[in-house]
Amino acid sequence: MNVERLNERVSAARREALARGDTFYPGPSRVHLAAFPPKERWDDWVELDSRSWPERRERRFMLVPTTCFNCESACGLLAYVDRETLQVRKLEGNPEHPGSRGRNCAKGPATLNQITDPDRILYPLRRAGARGEGRWERVSWDEALDDIAGRIRRALDEGRPNEIMYHVGRPGEDGYTERVLAAWGVDGHNSHTNICSSGGRAGYAFWMGLDRPSPDHANADVILLISAHLESGHYFNPHAQRVIEAKQRGAKLIVLDTRLSNTATHADHWLSPIPGSEPAILLAIADELIRRGAYDRDFVRHWWNWQEYLACEHPEGPQTFEEFERLLRELYSAYTFEFAERESGISAEVLREVVELVASAGSRLSTHTWRSAAAGNLGGWQVSRALFLLNALLGAVAVEGGVYPNAWNKFVPRPLYVPPHPQAWNELTWPTEYPLAMNEMSFLLPHFLKEGRGRLEVYFTRVYNPVWTNPDGFSWIEALTDEDLVGLHVALTPTWSETAFFADYVLPMGHGSERHDLHSYEQYDGQWIAFRQPVLRTARSRLGETLGDTRDANPGEVWEENELWIELSWRIDPDGSLGIRRYFESAEHPGEKLTVDEYYGHIFSHSVPGLPTAAAAEGLTPLEYMRRYGAFEVARGVGPVHAQPVPADELVDAHVDELGRVYTRAEKPASANVVPLPTPDPDEEGRRLVGVAVDDDVIRGFPTPSGRLEFYSRTLAAWGWPEHAVPGYIRSHVHPATTGEDQMILISTFRLPVQIHTRSANAKWLDEIAHTNPLWLHPRDAERLGVRTGELVRVETEIGHFVVKAWVTEGIRPGVVACSHHMGRWKTGETGQRQSMATVDLDRSPERWSLRRRTDVRPFDSADPDTRRIWWTDVGVHQNLTFPVHPDPVSGMHCWHQAVRVTAAQPGDAYGDISVDTERAHEIYRRWLELARPAEQHAPDGTRRPYWLLRPLKPSRDAYRLPGVPGGVEGEG
Ligand code: SF4
C-alpha cells in the first residue's frame, strides 16, 4: 500500500473516531488512541492475559514510566509491572512523553528481551586468567570498587590525573558523569562521538555555535534529509513521526542517500549521489537561489556575519551589504548544475526540479543530516555546513517549519552541585594536532598509546565496545591486552561485548528499566525533560517496601552508574581530604552519602520551571510526579531565541564594537537551564558578549564569536583553514576521481532500523528480524564480477579484507557497495551472547591478525524456551575490523567510507573471514595525521583550542594554554 493511501485510511479512521465521540489522549501526545491507558488508572490497570485465551483471565498491572536506552532519542516507555509477581511483563509507549508521544520503534518494547536475556551479566566479574583469555570469577561489588578506587586515588595522589579515563558509548544522560569527572579533577572524558557525529556537528557548530539542528519537520513544507532519518536517523522515532505528519499535510520530501533506504522509498525526490559529493549538490542549489535573488535578504542582512567577512577578506572594498551580495554571487558561481552533475552523478535536470521545490519552501524548509555523508567522507563536515546554508539563505532558521539551534529546544536543569572545571588537559583525547575537533579523538587512542604519548592506569569503557564498533579493532585488542599501556580496564556494561572480553572487571549495568538518568533532546519546538528510572524499585516503593540502592530491585547484582559513581567517589576520598567527597554528600544530611532520591528530588523541586506547580496540582512532590509520569514539558513554542531583546539590566557599561557585537560588564544571570553554550571570548576590557545590535535594538543573537550566524568562520580562517572559512566542497577521499579504476566505494555506515550497536545482541525479537549484513551490489557490478546473490565476495581494504555474501540489488549506485555496520558479532569461547555472536578463532601471526568463524549461532537450552527456537545461523560479518583510521583534519571525524577492491571469493575464503595487518594500519594513521594542522603552528593565541568551541567536559581556561609556545593572549578564535 502506498503512503498516500495509508494516510487516507488513517485520517478516515480518525474522522470516524471523532464522529463516534472518541476523544484524543489529553496528555502531551495529543494523538488519538484509546490504546493508551488513561494515566489516572496507571496504578491498577487491568488487561486480559493473552496467554490464557480463550479463558478470560484478568491481570493487574502497575504502569511505571521510564525511558528507552536503546538509542539517543530517549523515547518514553511504560513498564507493565505485574502486581502479582512484580515482574515486568511488557514495555510500551508512554503517552505522557512530549517527544515520542506514546510511540516507539521496535527497539523500545524489546527492552523486555534485554532484561530477561538468559546470557546477560548479572554479577561483577574479575578476570581469572590473562587479559582476553576468557576466564572469569565472580567478585563482590566491594572488592571490585575498593580495587578500582585505590588505583584512582593513587593516580591522583601521584599527580597522574590523565591516567584516568572514562570512555562512553551511549551516554543517555545529560552531564551527570562529566560532573563526576570534574569532581575528581580529571580531564578524563572520552566519547564515541568522533566515530559517529563529529562531522555533522562541526558544520553546524561553525555556523551557529551549537552543534546540532532541531528541525521542525512537522510544520515544514519541504523536508530535505541527508541520510535514512525515517528508519534509523538521529532522534529517529520522534522525528520520523513528525516527518510523516508533514507528509500527511502534503509536505514534500527530498532524500539524498546513495542507497535506496526505507527513507528514500518515501521520498518525492530520491537522489543517489556519488558518496561525498552532497555539498556539490547543495551548493549548486544555493548558487541558483543566490543567482535568482530567491533568498531572504532581510534575514541575511540581519543575521549573517557578512560585515566580518568583508572586514577580514575584502577590507579594501566597500563594506556594504550590496557589495557582500555581489561577492556572494561570485563565490558560488562555479557551483553550476553541470558541475554538480559531474561530481555527484545526479543529472542537472533532476537538480533543477529539486531547486524549484526548495525555493518554494520559503522559511518552511526543514533539513537534517547527522551521520551518513557527514560521517563517511573527508571534509564531511562541509555537508552540514552546506545544508544549513540553504536554511540560512531562506531564513528558515528558528521559525515554524525551519531549523532551530538545538539548545533552544532542550532543557538541562541545574543540578545540586557543579564542580569546577578540571585543571588538567588530556592530550590522549584532545591532541594538539586537532585543535578544532568537535570531540575527543577517541578512535586514535590505541595509536597514541602505542606511540608512547601516555598510558592509562584506570580505563572505564561504559556501554561502549570499541573493539567491535570502532575502525581498526585489532589495534584496540593490541592496546587493551598490553598491561603497560592499560593498567586496569573496567567494562561497565549491561551486555557482553567484544571489548568486555578484554577487561579486568566486567561490572553489570542496568538497561532502560533498571537505572536512573535524566535527559532532554531537541525533537520539536519545545523543551522537555524525561526521567529514566528503575521501574521495579519504584513499583515496590509505591507498594510500601523500603529498599536500599537500585541493586535491591534489579536482577542479580545489576546496578546503575548514578549510585555507582557516588559509592566509588566516597571510596576514592573516604575522609574528604581530596575535596571530592563533598560533591557526593547529602545536602540535607551533611556527612551522609547523597542518594538518587535527594539528587533528583532537588533538581525537580528547584530547577525545572513549572514542575513543582504541576506536581502540587496533583498532590504530589515534583519527584513523585516524575516517578509517576516520567516526563514533563517545560516549554512549547520556544521560538526565535536569537531575536529576543537583551534586558536593560544586562547592558551595564555596554559597548558596541565595529561588527555590532554588544559587550557588557553585567554578571551572567543564573539560569535554571544549563545547556553548555559556547563561550565567546570577552573584549579587550574583559566585558562579555551579551548580544548583537540589529537596527536600533540589542538582541540575543547566536552563541558564536560574532553573535551572528557565521557564514564566514573567523575561527577556521585563524586556526589554519582559511580556504574553508565559508561553506564549500571538499572532495571526498573516496571520490572516483581520486581512487583507482578498479576500486569501488564501500558505504559502511548505515544502521539496520531494528538493531542497536552492541546492546541489541541480547534482544531476541530484534535478532530474529535482522541478523545479517550482506553486501549491496548493483546488478551491473555483479555481472562484471560474476557474482550472484548469496555468493561470497572478498572486499579488500587498505589494511586487509573481509569475506561476505553478496546481495544484488538495484537499490545501490553502480560502482558503490554498502554493508551495514550493525552485524558481525563474535566471541572466542562460551562466554557471550549465544543468539547473536558467532564463535570464532582469533589468530595473530607476526604479520597479520585473522578471524575465522568456528561455529554459527544455533539453538540452545536456557530458562527461555525461545532460545531453542533460534532458526537463524548467520549473524553477519565484522567489517569494521578491516578499516584503518581516517581522522578528518578539521572536525576530527573518522571518515568511514572506504575505497575497496571487490572480487569473487578466492579459493580457501570462508564466510566471515577477516584478515588485517595492524602495522599497515599504523602507517595509514600516520599518513592521515600529516593532514592535520597542529595548534603549535596555527593557533593564533598560543592555546590548544578556541575556547568558545564546545567540549563535553571543559577544563579550566589556564589548561588551554600550549606549554612552551609564545603568546597565550586570548585573541580571536
Ligand atoms: S527511537 Fe526506538 S530505540 Fe530509540 S529511544 Fe525511541 S524507542 Fe528506543
What separation in Å is there between the alpha carbon of 70 and the centre of ligand 1?
Answer: 6
Q: How far apart are CA 170 and CA 395, in angstroms?
A: 34
Q: How far apart are CA 258 and CA 273, in angstroms?
A: 5
Antiparallel, parallel or unpaired: β 164-168 and 456-462: parallel
Residues contacting residue 905 through CB under 8 Å, at least 6 positions apart: 791, 792, 793, 794, 803
pLDDT, mean of residues 73-100: 96
In sequence order, what are the residues at sequence separation of 6 or more whose Cβ sits closer than 8 angstroms to the Cβ of residue 68?
74, 75, 76, 77, 104, 107, 108, 111, 512
- Ranking 458-467, 645-654, 753-762 by mean pLDDT, the lowest is 753-762
On whether the pTM is more than 0.85, the answer is yes
Cis bond upstream, residue 54 (ω within 30)? yes
| Joined grid coordinates for residue 373 | 555523508
Cα–Cα dist 637/162, whole Å: 43
Best residue for ligand 1 mutational test, from 29, 66, 70, 766 (most atoms within 8 Å of Cβ)? 70
| Model confidence pLDDT, tens digit, residues 855-887 | 999 999 999 999 999 999 999 999 999 999 999
* Residue in this structure with the C-alpha cell 534489579, named with its chain if needed: 554
Query: Residue 477 above 90 pLDDT?
Result: yes
**Contact indicator for 66, 169 with CB cutoff of 8 Å:** no
CA distance 614 to 96: 13
DSSP letters of 87-152? Answer: -EEEEEE-TT-TTTTT---TTTTTHHHHHH-TT---S-EEE-SSTTS--EEE--HHHHHHHHHHHH
How far, in Å, is the centroid of ligand 1 from the Cα of 310? Answer: 46
- Asked if the model's pLDDT at residue 276 lies above 90, the reply is yes
CA distances from 50 to 60, 94, 108, 776, 927 (A): 13, 21, 20, 40, 61
> What is the whole-number distance in angstroms between the Cα of residue 763 and the centre of ligand 1?
14
The average confidence (pLDDT) of the chain is 93
Exposed/middle/buried for residue 557 (C-beta within 10 Å: 0-12, 13-18, 19+): middle
Q: What is the mean pLDDT of residues 570-584?
A: 98
pLDDT of residue 10: 47
pLDDT band at 971 (very low <50, low <70, confident <90, very high): very low
What's the CA gap between 537 and 600, in Å, rounded? 15
For residue 103, the ligand 1 atom closest to its alpha carbon is 7
The residues, any chain, with a CB within 8 Å of residue 643's CB and separated by 6 or more, are: 398, 699, 700
Residues with CB under 6 A from ligand 1: 68, 70-71, 73-75, 100, 104-105, 107-108, 236-237
Average pLDDT score over residue span 616-636: 97
| Ligand 1 atom at minimal distance to the Cα of residue 107 | 3
Ligand 1 center to 164 CA (angstroms): 32
Ligand 1 midpoint to CA 106 (Å):
8
User: Average pLDDT in the 423-429 region?
Assistant: 97
Q: What is the pLDDT of residues 504-535, one digit of tens each?
A: 999 999 999 999 999 999 999 999 999 999 99
Residue 324: which H helix or E strand, with range? helix 321-332
User: β-pairing, 164-168 with 189-191?
Assistant: parallel
644 is written with which cell numbers? 529576543
Q: Tens digits of per-residue pLDDT, 786-806?
A: 999 999 999 999 999 999 999
Residue ranges of alpha helices (H) inside 786-939 are: 918-929, 935-938
Q: Count Cα atoms within 13 angstroms, Cβ side, for 441.
A: 30
* Closest to 954 (Cα-Cα) out of 521, 440, 213, 407: 440
Q: Given the CA of residue 104, which atom of ligand 1 is nearest to it?
A: 7
Q: State how far the Cα of 832 lies from the Cα of 278, in Å rounded to an integer.
A: 40
Q: Residue of the nearest CA to atom 1 in ligand 1?
A: 237
pLDDT of residue 173: 87
Which DSSP helix (H) or strand (E) runs through 165?
strand 164-168
- 21 backbone dihedrals φ, ψ, rounded to 5°: 90, 5
pLDDT tops 80 at residue 9: no
Ligand 1 center to residue 629 CA distance, Å?
A: 18
* Rounded CA separation 65/81 (Å): 10
Q: Exposed, middle or buried, 311 (CB in 10 Å: 0-12/13-18/19+)? A: middle
Minimal-distance CA residue to ligand 1 atom 4: 71
CA–centroid distance, 108 to ligand 1, in Å, is 5
Mutate to test the pocket of ligand 1, among 72, 236, 759 (most ligand atoms within 8 A of CB): 236
Mutation test residue for ligand 1: of 29, 72, 75, 241, the one with most atoms within 8 Å of CB: 75
* 167 phi/psi in degrees, rounded to 5: -115, 110
Q: Nearest C-alpha to atom 2 of ligand 1 is from which residue?
A: 105
Residue type, 534: P
Closest ligand 1 atom to residue 237 Cα is: 1
CA 17–ligand 1 middle distance (angstroms): 28
SS3 82: strand
Burial class from Cβ neighbours inside 10 Å (0-12, 13-18, 19+) for residue 239 reads buried
**Least confident among 524-538, 646-660, 942-956:** 646-660
Ligand 1 atom with minimal separation from the 67 CA: 5
Determine if residue 219 is left, alpha or beta; phi over 0 gives left, psi from -120 to 50 gives alpha, anything else beta: alpha
3-state secondary structure of 277: coil
Residue 973 predicted with pLDDT over 50 = no
DSSP letter assigned to residue 747: E
User: Which amino acid is it at 803?
Assistant: V
pLDDT over 90 (residue 30): no
* Residue 969: per-residue pLDDT: 38
State percent of the chain over pLDDT 90: 84
pLDDT tens by residue, 89-121: 999 999 999 999 999 999 999 999 999 999 999
- For 466, the grid coordinates are 570499541
User: What Cα–Cα distance (Å) separates residue 107 from each residue in 31, 70, 115, 767?
Assistant: 21, 6, 13, 11
Helices 278-292 and 348-361 meet at what angle, rounded to 10?
60
Place of cell 574583559: 686
Ligand 1 centroid – CA 593 distance (Å): 33
- Degrees to nearest 5, angle at CA 631 with 625 and 635: 110
Residue 800 alpha carbon to ligand 1 centre in Å: 35
Residue 465 in 3-state DSSP?
Answer: coil
Q: Looking at ligand 1, which atom is closest to the CA of residue 73? A: 5
| Distance, CA of 964 to CA of 970 (rounded, Å) | 16
**Spatial contact of 804 and 816, defined as CB atoms under 8 Å apart:** no
Confidence at 696, pLDDT banded by 50, 70, 90: confident
Give the β-pairing of 816-818 and 744-747: parallel
pLDDT tens per residue across span 145-160: 999 999 999 999 999 9
State how far the Cα of 959 lies from the Cα of 124, in Å rounded to an integer: 37
pLDDT at 233 over 80: no
Calculate how far, in angstroms, residue 305's C-alpha sits from the geometric centre of ligand 1: 38
- C-alpha 775/C-alpha 100 separation (Å) is 33
User: How far apart are the CA of 760 and the centre of ligand 1, in A?
Assistant: 12
pLDDT of 176-200, one tens digit each? 999 999 999 999 999 999 999 999 9
Mutation to probe ligand 1, out of 66, 105, 521, 754 (largest number of atoms < 8 A from CB): 105
Q: Quote the ligand 1 centre to 75 CA distance (angstroms).
A: 5
Ligand 1: centre distance to CA 109 (Å): 9
CA of 933 relative to ligand 1 center, distance in Å: 39
**pLDDT bracket for residue 741 (50, 70, 90):** confident
Task: Give the model's pLDDT for residue 8.
Answer: 60
Residue 19 has pLDDT above 80, yes or no: no
**Which ligand 1 atom is nearest residue 106's CA?**
2
Q: Whose CA is nearest to atom 6 of ligand 1?
A: 75
What local confidence, expressed as pLDDT, does residue 847 receive? Answer: 83
Q: How remote is the CA of residue 970 from the centroid of ligand 1, in Å? A: 43
C-alpha 52, offset from chain centre: 42
> What ligand 1 atom has the least distance to the C-alpha of 71?
4
Q: 785 near 738, Cβ under 8 Å? A: no
Lowest mean pLDDT among 116-125, 227-236, 632-641: 227-236
- Cβ neighbours, 10 Å, residue 16: 10
Which residue matches cell numbers 552523478? 345
Rounded CA-CA distance 570/189 in Å is: 20
Residue 31: per-residue pLDDT: 55
Q: Provide DSSP, 802-842.
A: EEEEEEE-TTB-TTEEE--TT---EESSSSS-TTT-EEEEE
CA of 770 to the centre of ligand 1 (A): 16
Mutate to test the pocket of ligand 1, among 90, 100, 755 (most ligand atoms within 8 A of CB): 100
Q: Which of 286, 276, 258, 266 is nearest to 223 (CA)?
A: 266
- Distance (angstroms) between ligand 1 centre and the Cα of 210 equals 24
Q: Cα angle at 648 between 646 and 649, to 5 degrees?
A: 105
Kindly state the cell numbers that stand for 105. Answer: 520503534
Are 902 and 744 spatial neighbours (Cβ–Cβ below 8 Å)?
yes
- Report the candidate in 891, 669, 675 with the shortest Cα–Cα distance to residue 214: 675
> What ligand 1 atom has the least distance to the C-alpha of 109?
7
838-844 and 269-271 as β-strands: parallel, antiparallel, unpaired?
unpaired
**How much is the CA Rg of the chain, to the nearest whole Å?**
27
Pocket probe for ligand 1: among 29, 69, 73, the residue whose CB has the most ligand atoms within 8 Å is 73
Q: According to DSSP H, which parts of 395-534 are helical?
A: 445-450, 466-469, 473-480
Ligand 1 atom nearest residue 93's Cα: 7
pLDDT above 60 for 24: no
Residue 671 has a CB neighbour count (10 Å cut-off) of 10
Quote the pLDDT of residue 25.
56
Q: How confident is the model at residue 694 (pLDDT cuts 50, 70, 90)?
A: confident
